[in-house]
Structure 1
Amino acid sequence: MNDLGLLRERGFALLLAARTVSVIGSSFAPVALAFGVLSLPGADATTLSVVLVAEAVPMVVFMLIGGVIADRLPRNRVMLAADLLSAAAFTSLAVMLLVHWTPLPALVIAAALSGIAVAIMFPALTGIIPDVVPSERLQTANALLGLGANAGRVVGLVLSGAVVALVGSGWALVISGAMFAVGAACVAGLRLRPHGRSAGPGHSVPADLRDGWLEFRSRQWLWVVVAQFSVLVMAMQAAHGVLGPLMAKQSLGGAPAWSAVLAGEAVGMIGGVVLAMRLRPRRPILLGTLLTLPTALPYLLLGVGAPLWTVVAGAAVMGVCMDCFGVLWQTTMQREIPTESLSRVSSYDALGSLMFGPIGLLVAGPVAIVIGPAPALLGCAAIVVLCGLAALLSPGVRGLTAR
């Protein structure tokens, strides 16, 4: 395949390596952090919710600033700073667990730093791809980056469950921090053409944000799907961050079982990006929105007490659907939105999509205590399906055609 010639181009190869290694690091974190916190003396689901909310809130709050920074500064340098901050955050969490000094405020601060790092990274990553890859190869580039990320996710999730079970969460977080440091080293070698995006004299941050907002709100397909994901991500955060690990601990065998579910999702994502590399739908956003409906499957299976292998299979279906959606979404944004505004628009995308995530994390623990994790997971499945059906009512979602 000629498109695989991208792998021989130094800039894209470095970007792919940086992204893949960083995802390995980030994949160690959910299992290690969840079971590390749940194993602390006196900790319960609410304790885990507090730590995860501490990570999610700064991610939302700083997202727009991350978009402005990535449209003003070289995006490779922005990504470098984000990887280094993630390395510091997860290394700090690792040290706290290893030395058995885990005051909740210290855990919250370290988790908040990792959230800030994501807020800086996401807009820069979306915007840097057109800086590295010609427009006609964007879909292939997005698919290859997704393929590398999902391969890294499988490696990280499979190994994280084993490391947590064998030597504990602290050492798993050590590996997470080290992977982010390696990712930073890869990004440091990436060189971009002069971007010409620096703000002119007197061009303020509020003006940059206003211009990005005008680009964002002018496209119905964009803001409708972002509104859908604001609710969908709330349900997914609750299920993935708190309710799923609780079910795994109570009835599926603990960390190795939850790692298997997450690994099944990641394997599905690999299949999804391979499929997305060849998809050329006439209406990409319509197809992508339809693909969000089956993502409720693993939550439904967990909620009804299905065997572990069926939950893993359901997670694989979720992975296929979400990564097909992700490639179609990223490619459509990169083709429809001017490059000089892309990071700011993607920051509004991320802000809108993630803004209710902390609510899902915050209420998941108390809800699980009151009604149990299984009914709560069934509620998450219903929310995912209903918000997807609502998005399909939009003419902009149904009508946007690929260029």
Structure 2
Amino acid sequence: MTATAISAPGLPPAHRDANVLRWLGAFVFSLLGDNVYFLALSWAAVRVGGPAQAGLVLAAGSVPRAVLMLGGGVVADRFGPRKVVIGSDLTRCVVILAVAGVLAVSTPGVWVLVVVGLVFGTVDALFLPAVGALPPRITGPDQLARVQGLRGLASRAATIGGSPLGGLAMALGGPSWAFAVAGTLFAVSVPLLIAVRITPLPDNDRAGTGGTAWRDLADGLRHIRRDPVLGPLVIVLAIGELGFTGPLNVGVTLLASERGWGAAGLGWIAGGFGAGAAAASLLLAVRGRLPHAGLAQQGCLALGAVATGVLAFAPSLSAAVGVGVAIGLTAGLGGALSAALLQTATDPVYLGRVTAVASLFSLGVAPLTYPLTGAAIATWGTRPVFTASAAIVALGSVVGLCTRPLRGAELPR
């Protein structure tokens, strides 16, 4: 059974649907809170300790996020994604406002900030699968691509607006003010989430949960493995993330340093990534659907692989920025299509678990390539490493193109 079984007839387009717009508004406020929080946490950690301690504080959140992500998918499917997302934002609001109060009257030790990072990482492990499982429950399957485009635009807006907002709060009142702003943003998202209506699962689908947590998780993994589209799609996503993540996060910084472009050059290339990704999101938000979605997703992955390899050979900063736009466009479009295909192909009762598996690769496993990428560039330079990474991404595209059900997958009309 696909998401079509829980769609409601006569729904307006996603960009005109008040229910979707409430969810989108809550998502924006939550992302803004995330951005302000991370900025405030890193600044507070540097002030309390130093660079090494700051690294420890920021790394603390990644451990529970990676370890508990699959369990978060089980929780989302058992209790419903809306309840989990509301509970996550409420928890973040309370914790962050409490930290703001502590920072306003004292200077806590590093261990307090580590605990905050661990709590946030644990909440993220619940939040991320749940928020990914919500779109098919609030709109029709024919609107999922448009929702992914709107979500991409919201993410870009939050990234652009969150850092200046956090910086302004810290300039006015230090980390305590920034934490207070982050807590307030999470608080604003809660009533919007409460107002979001979701389509209940049919009674026969509720049988997909109810055993032990391990059994529910195993059922979700079997669902992925047995589905002719989901299994290959998750493998393609995993390969693509392993190829993209290191070069586009660590490698670009080292490339800018190697070429003498400096921090300004790095900013321009990162801006190119963002502009391309925003253009891809806007395209999907406006069109709502692209034909031959499976084939288009693999084509985007292949073009992204070529652009990643070319980036290290860019003869000038302006050329590198142009290549960055191409990478952002292809990666953004391919990623949005992947998410829409994943949500369309997944049986609604497994949405949280399937989203958790996909998120685990992108947010848990792929970041482990950061130190490997740095060490490899230090040994061999940027060009061989970017070329090898491009080959990995291209391998993912080849796997997808060789899998007929994924290659021929379509989004509902």
Q: 1:113 aligns with which of 112, 115, 119?
A: 119
Per the normalisation by structure 2, the TM-score is 0.77
What residue is the counterpart of 1:293 in the other structure? 305
Identity of aligned residues (%): 22
Distance 1:246 1:124 in 2: 39
What residue is the counterpart of 2:69 in the other structure? 63
Q: 2:22 aligns with which of 14, 32, 56?
A: 14
3-state SS, counterpart of residue 62 of structure 1: helix
Contact in 2 for aligned 1:242/1:365 (Cα 8 Å): no
Amino acid at match of 1:293: A
What residue is the counterpart of 1:103 in the other structure? 109
Shift of the 378–88 alpha-carbon distance from structure 1 to 2, 3 Å rule, reads farther
Displacement of 1:329 = 0.9
Shift of the 231–104 alpha-carbon distance from structure 1 to 2, 3 Å rule, reads farther
Q: 2:35 aligns with which of 12, 17, 27?
A: 27
Shift of the 78–41 alpha-carbon distance from structure 1 to 2, 3 Å rule, reads closer
Shift of the 116–133 alpha-carbon distance from structure 1 to 2, 3 Å rule, reads same
Q: Which moved more, 1:78-87 or 1:262-271?
A: 262-271
Q: How does 1:3-402 map to 2 (within 5 A)?
A: 5-37=13-45, 39-40=46-47, 43-44=50-51, 46-91=52-97, 94=100, 101-164=107-170, 168-195=174-201, 196=203, 198-199=206-207, 203-218=211-226, 219-229=230-240, 231-232=242-243, 235=246, 239=250, 252=263, 265-277=273-285, 278=287, 280-282=290-292, 283-290=295-302, 292-293=304-305, 296=308, 316-357=325-366, 359-360=368-369, 363=371, 381=386, 384-395=389-400, 399=404, 400-402=407-409
Contact in 1 for aligned 2:78/2:210 (Cα 8 Å): no
Contact in 1 for aligned 2:236/2:400 (Cα 8 Å): no
Per the normalisation by structure 1, the TM-score is 0.78
Contact in 2 for aligned 1:24/1:156 (Cα 8 Å): yes
Amino acid at match of 1:394: V
3-state SS, counterpart of residue 47 of structure 1: helix
Residue by residue over 1:189-232, the C-alpha shift from the partner in whole angstroms, topping out at 9 and shown as x without a partner, is 22323334545796221221111101222344223223315524
Amino acid at match of 1:389: A
Displacement of 1:337 = 1.6
Distance 2:253 2:57 in 1: 11
Distance 1:9 1:379 in 2: 48
Displacement of 1:332 = 0.5
Amino acid at match of 1:20: V
Displacement of 1:30 = 4.1
Displacement of 1:354 = 2.8
- Which structure 1 segments of 5+ residues have no match? none
3-state SS, counterpart of residue 185 of structure 2: helix
- Root-mean-square deviation (Å): 4.2
Contact in 1 for aligned 2:49/2:110 (Cα 8 Å): no
Contact in 2 for aligned 1:82/1:121 (Cα 8 Å): yes
Amino acid at match of 2:302: L
Amino acid at match of 2:338: W
Distance 1:64 1:131 in 2: 20
Shift of the 138–251 alpha-carbon distance from structure 1 to 2, 3 Å rule, reads closer
Shift of the 41–152 alpha-carbon distance from structure 1 to 2, 3 Å rule, reads closer
Amino acid at match of 1:347: A
Distance 1:379 1:130 in 2: 41
Contact in 1 for aligned 2:153/2:281 (Cα 8 Å): yes
3-state SS, counterpart of residue 356 of structure 1: helix
Distance 1:55 1:193 in 2: 32
Amino acid at match of 2:153: L
Shift of the 188–328 alpha-carbon distance from structure 1 to 2, 3 Å rule, reads same
Q: Which moved more, 1:166-175 or 1:11-20?
A: 166-175
Displacement of 1:18 = 0.6
Displacement of 1:105 = 2.2
Shift of the 230–323 alpha-carbon distance from structure 1 to 2, 3 Å rule, reads closer
Shift of the 41–17 alpha-carbon distance from structure 1 to 2, 3 Å rule, reads closer
Residue by residue over 1:85-118, the C-alpha shift from the partner in whole angstroms, topping out at 9 and shown as x without a partner, is 3334444555566556242322221112111222
Distance 1:246 1:109 in 2: 34
3-state SS, counterpart of residue 77 of structure 1: helix
Displacement of 1:285 = 3.0
**Which of 1 and 2 has greater Rg?**
2
3-state SS, counterpart of residue 398 of structure 2: coil
Distance 1:133 1:268 in 2: 26
Shift of the 395–8 alpha-carbon distance from structure 1 to 2, 3 Å rule, reads closer
